[in-house]
Amino acid sequence: MPHFHATVRVGLRPSVLDPAGEAVCAAAQRLGHGAIQSIRIGKAIEIQLDAPDAATARQQLESLSAQLLANPVMETWSLELHNREA
C-alpha cells in the first residue's frame, strides 16, 4: 500500500488570546527585532500513514484532525499531504 507523509498544523483561532505568543513577541522585541508585530504559537504534527490513494489518505487525516488533533472551540487546523513514496 502506498505510504504518505502529512503535516497537520494546529493553531489558536485568531479571536483567541495566545499569551505564550505574546511573551515570545515581547522577548523578540527586547532582542532588537522591532519589526516583529505579532507572534502566534501553534503546533505542527507530522504523520506517516499507509493508504490506497491520496484521496483516502486526505479523508482519513481530515477526520483525525477534526476529531482529535484540533478542538474547533478554540483552534483551527490545516493539512499538507507532502509526498507519496512507492
Partner 1 sequence: MHVGVAVFPGANCDRDVGWALAGCLGWRVTFLWHRDATLPRKLDALILPGGFSYGDYLRCGAIASSAPLLGAVADFAATGGPVLGICNGFQVLTEAGLLPGGLIRNRGLHFVCRDQGLQVESCCSPWLRHFAPGDALTLPIAHGEGCYHIDPPGLRQLEDHDQVALRYLDNPNGSVGHIAGVSNKAGNVLGLMPHPERACDQATGGTDGQALFRGLARWMGFS
Which residues of the shown chain bind partner 1 in the complex (CB under 8 A)? Answer: 12, 15-20, 23, 68-69, 71, 73-75
Tell the smallest beta-carbon distance from residue 63 to partner 1 (Å): 13
Tell the smallest beta-carbon distance from residue 55 to partner 1 (Å): 25
Q: Write the CA distances from 62 to 2, 23, 46, 57, 68, integer angstroms.
A: 18, 31, 14, 9, 10
DSSP-derived 3-state class of residue 34: coil
Nearer of residues 15 and 83 to partner 1, judged by Cβ:
15
Nearer of residues 12 and 81 to partner 1, judged by Cβ:
12
Nearer of residues 20 and 54 to partner 1, judged by Cβ:
20
